[in-house]
Structure 1
């Protein structure tokens, strides 16, 4: 039998020969760079942490912690517990090997000769990982070989740092950062002696019962105290601390102030960037203020059955999102719902976009008179009777007053001029895409019956701030996306001027409402049907701010108006944004005309008003000889009809026709009617599907069963207006041939 010293020397020679090469061993920098936390960190525009979100369900790993950021007590406890001669050996502790019996040296139950470097080798190489049945002899020899290679290429501090960041501790916890934050609720640099002893004990027995961990930790703690020349530890107190520690879960999977944006950006990123921090355009200070202001306002609204809200702040020029608050957080029973992207009815906040389109099409000016009186509008689904918020009517008012004071009936009359389908197309150009066509909502579209998101609505208002240019928002640093001219620049300016006019909104909101700021702002509030949603959206020279309050479940609020719900949050954020930055009124686009106007009968005080080129007039009076909803009588623009786009007046969108089998088909023709506006009547073309079926402002069409799109085109083939109708067929009786 070979003597023990000889066996030891032979094994040493074998390992030394096998460990001479360093090929295949990763270097320290590669290992550190390949580390991927199980959490993804959302950062603001300056790199400040905003939110942490777990993205790897297989294990819980924190950030890579440098050795200098790890408690000296833990470093000492680990070395005393796992590898007392760590700083003396070269990967394999030959004194431990020679002191162990050969029969137990490579046994699966023996760990006394396994150094920290050997254990690290098992963590770095999947083939050397510890299995449920222990390591085989081949794996242990491989561990020793790789350990000598690691020691030849790595420093001792690098080995210890890598080990502490890669070692499994308990359950799914891997690495010292995850362990410290979960079980001790602190960063690794703050671990004290008893905590370090518990952590070191978990290395040897990660999933042991608390009593066994406490017993092992007591031994480690006593070894630490002995090395310092101190007395024995109180193991009874340590036992209680271990029990409490192992039951703690202080590191939630999601933590921070921007969970909704974090999830949105995570869904957009590629797998190659997994684990890397997400840099956003948010401003951490503004994000915290927006969340705090929203929560404070909702606390003040307690008792009015409202618990949710959302806020978004956009930079007008760049489109960068500076704040994104998706919910009220702990105050909400549906905190996971993102109120910024959840579709809701916008109420009166669509009115500025409607009036802007009517002004751009020269159907109205800011001084045009609209009749705020009871209206009964025949629609395909029945009689539509719009009402104002206060159930009162103001009579004849200017478009400026109607919009600023948020009168409903004039808005509906304006939509009659524009048509629901045309307004729906305008909304789509501004980035708001209703689920259905304009005909589906009918005239109620003027009052916000179509659902939109806070993000879409706020960015559409940003288009008003940017002279009608619609541009995508930006959530991360990078090049800006191209913009489109979605609305006439002059019309956008005029609407902004109206929404910034405190005197114009006085009839509804008074002269000293929360909407009036000491610097230039344009703002509109809105409340949806049954008080389910309340909005305040507006812009300054540099920023556009949108606020929604309500209930994520759709329950109605109680006694919450436009100025008492979302508006206080909007006003507080605007005051903060412009505490040290002025906001001046925008310069009018080229071509706009500012002229004095008077109103016959003293309907409103004389003033100066902005006009698009060719629409200015000095006197506005009531035309009592025409229908109140026709463009000429409603706006007084008889001299500018040459600039009004053509539109279909019959049939109405959504018309349903049924062919009668008793009537010859040739006698069942449908009359198509249009208003030429500024276009020569002879240039208009009627198209149904791929066929031209007539010309001029009037045409006859022989219907056939099916769903059809009736289009009115100009001489160049451009669609000016369209209607969707359905014809339901019936078999023609024998002998009923056309005559």
Structure 2
């Protein structure tokens, strides 16, 4: 009887195979199937090919990279053959004995599991892929599978057939391929599957969406064939099938950059090589998380880090957030816009240097200041609410004093300053007038990426160029992305020299602050309004490092400044980046002059406390032609570079006399912050006081302020228009 059934089945199937039906196109080679395998996830690679991050791209299917048969556990290889095709290694594509049994059972309407071999199933999977998911369950398609199975057996090795099958077969739900199933259900790689896990996987091939008890029973059958116990298989099956989400077993270091890669790479791209260095990415991530854990009691949960190669513009580390420490883990803080606080001050002074308005030795008055704006008076304060009187630009920038920076910004004007910041790539959303005087203190919002690249411009001697995070070079840059000189190299050097001067910042930070590095490094911290944002950005000869610390929600931190929030992370990174080779200071351009200077303390300065506050003698750097050995009040680069000693009237002011108003209400205030000085108008002495009220007279006037020795400290010109004052008024 058995021989009769076999003979009958062979005759029937032989007739099918010899029938001139179209069995479909020739199946592809193993190499082409493997080469065209497309995972559902995008994998980010570092500059050496090390995986950095895996992120889901195709939401319709869960498919991971191809797994070689040698990387699949022997238990899995055994289980799938026992479950699906026990004579896999003997037949030539069609198991005639199984066909005979299946055909006879179907003739008598008996239920069987069918006669499809692994090779036939693979042929069906390949045909289904080519025909966009056609069903494989009718008899004509079974014949087509048998036909193609013979082709596969003639052209492919048995091991290739089994390898391709395990990578292409659906397991459960959206999960396709052994790698995705193994990571999703068992949280391990296919190489680590044991006998029970492999039996469950094999059972899922037969019934991908079966209930847990059915899968466990079938898995036990596979184990029984191997003479293995089934103890605990029900619990293991229930736990595996209850797993939610798709586990990532490889180290996940750059989720935010992976999301950016998905947005900026063509659909179908499943692997992106980046310029990131896994060593620095891992270090930056770990340092950020460690420091934020220490700051958690101070209301801090978010942060970001970026590391740039100065010469190439390549991004070496991009940490967009703190991971599970944050309530907004998906927000990329490298690209989020925040107020940068004092980190914009170097660019304010750089522009003032370039325009010969100030030098590093120029004296600015750190005292209470009120600037009228369209919304009222703008009254800047220093971080510690103290004022230090007359200070040099080096001291003002090194110690991050706010009032001198606002005075310097007022000399430039907000529109001019905004244009310079845009030239540096900060991409301000509004014109300078929108921000007003506060622009010098960082009232505009910028990204950590753009701000760090602006500092890289200083490191590169004033030349701006775009950043690059993809390993493949851009073939053609847009005009706006071409490298360009933003400021002269000597100006960039002057600013860098101040930012690298540990002594210059000692007034605020001390000599042993976290900003002091073993080698050369120029660095600036910043804290935005209400302590919502901490910044620390700086550069060595080779690297630029930017760090932001704060809260994605915008909620303020508690007693966390730039030097305690972001700076420790910056300092640790710089130390590790230069552990093998300390950074060396750059050589000054030929147009930079260094000479000793002193400050003339004989002129009363009227500091906030009433005492003189003058910098100590030192070596200073200048743009050629702006240097001088002795600096007194009223001197900047010539007199035009000084902080104005005459506070009122403003240079070029025009006053109009109203003949119908009483003269006493039209007097012009002559105001200065200095003491022991004398007012002179049009060459005639008016008197000695810090505030006088002068009755105006039509004409053009020259007002000067002189010290006790008769030297001119400051001078302004203004004009009065209109009729003369009424008779009896004193001039």
Q: Please point out which of 34, 37, 46 is paired with 2:36.
A: 34
| Partner in structure 1 of residue 464 of structure 2 | 470
| Partner in structure 2 of residue 44 of structure 1 | 46
**Contact residue 128 and residue 143 of structure 1 kept, 8 A:** no
| Partner in structure 1 of residue 206 of structure 2 | 204
C-alpha distance after superposition, 1:74-102 (max 9, x if no partner): 11111111111112222111222233445
| Partner in structure 2 of residue 155 of structure 1 | 157
SS of residue matched to 1:271: coil
Against the structure 1 CA distance between its residues 347 and 103, is the aligned structure 2 distance closer, same or farther, given a 3 Å change threshold?
A: same
| Partner in structure 2 of residue 575 of structure 1 | 575
SS of residue matched to 2:597: strand
Mapped pair 1:245 → 2:240: yes
Task: Give, in angstroms, the shift of residue 301 of structure 1.
Answer: 1.4
SS of residue matched to 1:200: helix
**Contact residue 307 and residue 551 of structure 1 kept, 8 A:** yes
Mapped pair 1:192 → 2:198: no
Against the structure 1 CA distance between its residues 18 and 223, is the aligned structure 2 distance closer, same or farther, given a 3 Å change threshold?
A: farther
Structure 2, unaligned stretches of length 5 or more?
603-613, 646-650, 655-731
SS of residue matched to 2:368: coil
SS of residue matched to 1:60: coil
Q: Please point out which of 604, 619, 633 is paired with 2:642.
A: 633
Q: Please point out which of 384, 388, 400 is paired with 1:390.
A: 384
Against the structure 1 CA distance between its residues 198 and 365, is the aligned structure 2 distance closer, same or farther, given a 3 Å change threshold?
A: same
**Contact residue 454 and residue 547 of structure 1 kept, 8 A:** yes
Q: Please point out which of 350, 353, 371 is paired with 1:359.
A: 353
Against the structure 1 CA distance between its residues 18 and 28, is the aligned structure 2 distance closer, same or farther, given a 3 Å change threshold?
A: farther
| Partner in structure 2 of residue 521 of structure 1 | 521
CA distance in 1, matches of 2:202, 2:255: 34
Residue range with higher mean Cα deviation, 88-97 or 462-471:
88-97
CA distance in 1, matches of 2:130, 2:372: 80
| Partner in structure 2 of residue 433 of structure 1 | 427
Against the structure 1 CA distance between its residues 384 and 107, is the aligned structure 2 distance closer, same or farther, given a 3 Å change threshold?
A: farther
SS of residue matched to 1:256: coil
Against the structure 1 CA distance between its residues 594 and 116, is the aligned structure 2 distance closer, same or farther, given a 3 Å change threshold?
A: same
| Partner in structure 1 of residue 617 of structure 2 | 606
| Partner in structure 2 of residue 512 of structure 1 | 512
CA distance in 1, matches of 2:501, 2:33: 63
Against the structure 1 CA distance between its residues 149 and 104, is the aligned structure 2 distance closer, same or farther, given a 3 Å change threshold?
A: same
Task: Give, in angstroms, the shift of residue 105 of structure 1.
Answer: 6.5
CA distance in 2, matches of 1:108, 1:29: 40
Task: Give, in angstroms, the shift of residue 260 of structure 1.
Answer: 0.5
CA distance in 1, matches of 2:384, 2:237: 66
C-alpha distance after superposition, 1:205-258 (max 9, x if no partner): 111111111111111111122xxxxxxx43342222212221124733797111
**Contact residue 108 and residue 134 of structure 1 kept, 8 A:** no
Q: Please point out which of 442, 448, 452 is paired with 1:448.
A: 442
Task: Give, in angstroms, the shift of residue 650 of structure 1.
Answer: 9.5
CA distance in 2, matches of 1:593, 1:363: 17
Against the structure 1 CA distance between its residues 27 and 520, is the aligned structure 2 distance closer, same or farther, given a 3 Å change threshold?
A: same
CA distance in 1, matches of 2:371, 2:133: 78
SS of residue matched to 2:160: helix
Q: Please point out which of 309, 322, 325 is paired with 1:328.
A: 322
Against the structure 1 CA distance between its residues 526 and 186, is the aligned structure 2 distance closer, same or farther, given a 3 Å change threshold?
A: same
Mapped pair 1:95 → 2:97: yes
CA distance in 2, matches of 1:492, 1:107: 88
Alignment of 1:56-455 (within 5 A): 56-102=58-104, 104=106, 110-126=112-128, 135-225=137-227, 233-249=228-244, 251-252=246-247, 256-272=252-268, 274-275=269-270, 277-455=271-449
SS of residue matched to 1:278: strand
Task: Give, in angstroms, the shift of residue 459 of structure 1.
Answer: 0.6
CA distance in 1, matches of 2:525, 2:621: 23
CA distance in 1, matches of 2:152, 2:18: 13
**Contact residue 369 and residue 635 of structure 1 kept, 8 A:** no
**Contact residue 9 and residue 100 of structure 2 kept, 8 A:** no
SS of residue matched to 1:285: helix
CA distance in 2, matches of 1:108, 1:122: 24
Residues matched between the structures, number: 627
**Contact residue 185 and residue 250 of structure 1 kept, 8 A:** no
Task: Give, in angstroms, the shift of residue 425 of structure 1.
Answer: 0.3
Task: Give, in angstroms, the shift of residue 137 of structure 1.
Answer: 2.1
SS of residue matched to 2:296: coil
CA distance in 2, matches of 1:183, 1:54: 17
CA distance in 1, matches of 2:644, 2:275: 44
Against the structure 1 CA distance between its residues 77 and 414, is the aligned structure 2 distance closer, same or farther, given a 3 Å change threshold?
A: same
Alignment of 1:721-732 (within 5 A): none
Task: Give, in angstroms, the shift of residue 39 of structure 1.
Answer: 1.3
CA distance in 1, matches of 2:213, 2:340: 60
**Contact residue 19 and residue 149 of structure 1 kept, 8 A:** no
**Contact residue 536 and residue 566 of structure 1 kept, 8 A:** yes
SS of residue matched to 1:525: strand
Against the structure 1 CA distance between its residues 207 and 10, is the aligned structure 2 distance closer, same or farther, given a 3 Å change threshold?
A: closer
Against the structure 1 CA distance between its residues 61 and 127, is the aligned structure 2 distance closer, same or farther, given a 3 Å change threshold?
A: closer
Task: Give, in angstroms, the shift of residue 134 of structure 1.
Answer: 6.8
CA distance in 1, matches of 2:147, 2:529: 75
CA distance in 1, matches of 2:132, 2:272: 34
SS of residue matched to 2:643: helix
**Contact residue 524 and residue 538 of structure 1 kept, 8 A:** yes
C-alpha distance after superposition, 1:300-327 (max 9, x if no partner): 2122111111111111111111111111
Q: What is the Cα-based RMSD across aligned positions, in Å? A: 2.7
CA distance in 2, matches of 1:305, 1:64: 45
